[in-house]
Structure 1
Amino acid sequence: MEKELKNINFTVIENGIQIPITTRHGSYPNLMYLLKEELQLESFGECGGVGRCATCVVKTSGITGNSAVKDRNEPATLSKLGFNEANIRLSCQIYITADLNGAEIKILEI
């Protein structure tokens, strides 16, 4: 029996505008790709998702589970820019899972 895919709903804030997003688990490799494609963001995610360029920095609220944990290159990259807050993230390091349901993602300008 195939597992039913449920919608994942969250809000993105870009330039003060709230944008509701509905997607499904795994529909994009990560949040950076979703934001880049859905919002047509220029100069966003320039390193292609390896967690080194910090052109996909977001402020998060309401992310749960494993998605709330910084991993790989993310802490070092953010620290170099002076970001040490737990809720400042690289969107390329956040996967599209149910952990995003109900979250708020604010795109930061660097």
Structure 2
Amino acid sequence: MHMEKTINFTVIENGIQIPIATRHGSYPSLMYLLKEELQLESFGECGGVGRCATCVVTTKGISGNSALKDRNEPVTLSKLGFHEAAIRLSCQIHITADLNGAEIRILEL
């Protein structure tokens, strides 16, 4: 029987480190996990389509395909003047083993 490994990463909100333990595919995206687990107001307002940029985070230690930006993400971020690889829309990051050990910092916009 295949045992699914727990995915552990750290979220930093307002300087507070919050350890997160979850499983692959437990939420449609990182945005939904953050919104629900941290009860974030006005976060992810477009519902995860990568257009509103209310779910911007900085990332450290994400690997694999999860580190790649595609679809609307680069365009939405560049409209706001964000061009750094570490700045991401959390709605475009899937909950996979690529997040294990990562650090996610919620940006206050």
Q: TM-score range by the shorter chain?
A: over 0.9
Q: Report 1:1-110 matches (<5 A).
A: 2-110=1-109
Structure 1: segments with no counterpart, 5+ residues: none
> CA–CA distance in 2 between the matches of 1:89 and 1:50?
13
* CA distance in structure 2 between the aligned counterparts of 1:98 and 1:50, rounded to whole angstroms: 22
Q: Residue deviations 1:11-50, cap 9 Å, x none?
A: 0000000000000000000000000000000000000000
Structure 2 residues without counterparts, runs of 5 or longer: none
Identical aligned residues as a percent: 84
Q: Offset at 1:4?
A: 1.4
TM-score (norm: length of structure 1): 0.98
Over the aligned positions, Cα root-mean-square deviation in angstroms equals 0.5
Runs of at least 4 residues off by over 3 Å: none
Cα distance in 1 for residues equivalent to 2:2 and 2:36: 27
Deviation at 1:3, TM superposition (A): 2.4
Total equivalences in the alignment: 109
TM-score by length of 2: 0.99
